[in-house]
C-alpha cells in the first residue's frame, strides 16, 4: 500500500498521477486525460476524509486479519476505550480484549464474517488494558479488496458501561420498590393522559384480585373499583387531568 497519498506530477509536459512507496516513485506509463485524473483526485480526497473520520471517531474502529484475528489498525477511539496505544496492540490477537468466558465468541463471529455476513450491533463485554471488564456494543463487517475477496474484518465498538450501570441500578430499584409494596400491601399505578396508557404495579393486581394477564384496568373498569362515595370526585379529577 502507498505510504504517501496520490499526488500529481508533470512529466514530458503532461499530467501524471503518482505515489511514493518507500523510496520508490510509482507512476503510470501513460499520462491521464483530465477526466480520469479528476476522478482519481476526487477519490483520493474522499479517502482522506474517510480516514480522518475513522481516526477521530469516539468509537473504537479496529481492523483485523482473518482467520487469525491479528489487529492491523487501531484508532484513537480504541485507545480511549481499551487503554492500549496502537504501537502496543497492532500485531497482537484481538482475543486479548476478550474476557476468559467470551473466548469462544470470537470463533463464532469470525465464521459469520468469513461467510461474507456482517454481524449487526450486539452487546457483550471486553477487557481494558488495566484490567476492568467493560460493557460494549459491537458491530463487525467483512473488509473486501478490489476483487471483492474478503481480506479482513472491521470491528466498531462503543463503550456502553455507564448505560448498563444505570439499567442495572434501575432494575434493582424497581425490584426493591416491588418488594416494599408487597410487604406493605401498597399498590401504585400511573396513567398517561395523552396516550391513555395505564400501568399497574404487581401489588395492585393482588389488591384488586385481577389477573395480570388481563393487563391494568381501563378507565371504566378502574372506576368500578372505587367506593361509591368517592367515585364522583375521582372521576371529576380524572376528566380534568
> Looking at residue 3, what is its pLDDT?
41
Residue 205: closest CA among 226, 182, 224: 182
**Cα 15 from Cα 92, distance rounded (Å):** 42
Which residue ranges of the chain lie beneath pLDDT 70?
1-56, 219, 241
> Looking at residue 1, what is its pLDDT?
40
> Looking at residue 24, what is its pLDDT?
45
Q: What is the dihedral of CA 171, 174, 180, 184, to 10 degrees?
A: -150
> Looking at residue 27, what is its pLDDT?
43
> Looking at residue 10, what is its pLDDT?
47
> Looking at residue 177, what is its pLDDT?
74
**Cα 98 from Cα 154, distance rounded (Å):** 16
> Looking at residue 64, what is its pLDDT?
93
Amino acid at each position: 500500500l502507498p505510504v504517501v497519498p496520490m499526488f500529481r506530477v508533470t512529466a514530458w509536459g503532461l499530467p501524471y498521477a503518482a505515489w511514493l512507496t518507500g523510496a520508490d516513485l510509482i507512476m503510470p506509463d501513460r499520462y491521464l486525460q483530465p477526466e480520469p485524473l479528476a476522478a482519481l483526485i476526487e477519490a483520493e480526497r474522499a479517502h482522506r476524509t474517510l480516514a480522518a473520520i475513522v481516526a477521530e471517531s469516539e468509537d473504537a474502529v479496529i481492523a483485523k486479519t482473518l482467520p487469525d484475528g491479528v489487529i492491523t489498525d487501531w484508532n484513537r477511539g480504541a485507545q480511549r476505550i481499551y487503554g492500549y496505544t496502537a504501537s502496543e496492540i497492532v500485531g497482537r490477537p484481538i482475543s486479548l480484549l476478550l474476557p476468559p468466558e467470551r473466548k469462544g465468541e470470537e470463533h463464532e463471529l469470525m465464521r459469520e464474517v468469513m461467510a461474507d455476513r456482517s454481524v449487526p450491533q450486539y452487546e457483550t463485554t471486553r477487557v481494558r488494558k488495566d484490567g476492568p471488564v467493560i460493557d460494549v456494543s459491537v458491530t463487525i463487517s467483512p473488509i473486501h479488496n478490489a476483487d471483492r475477496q474478503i481480506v479482513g474484518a472491521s470491528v466498531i465498538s462503543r463503550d456502553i458501561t455507564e448505560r448498563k450501570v444505570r439499567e442495572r441500578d434501575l432494575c434493582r430499584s424497581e425490584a426493591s420498590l416491588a418488594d416494599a409494596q408487597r410487604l406493605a400491601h401498597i399498590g401504585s399505578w400511573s396513567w398517561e393522559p395523552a396516550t391513555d396508557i395505564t400501568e399497574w404495579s404487581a401489588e395492585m393486581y393482588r389488591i384488586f384480585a385481577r389477573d395480570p394477564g388481563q393487563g391494568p384496568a381501563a378507565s371504566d373498569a378502574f372506576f368500578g373499583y372505587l367506593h361509591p362515595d368517592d367515585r364522583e370526585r375521582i372521576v371529576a379529577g380524572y376528566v380534568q387531568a
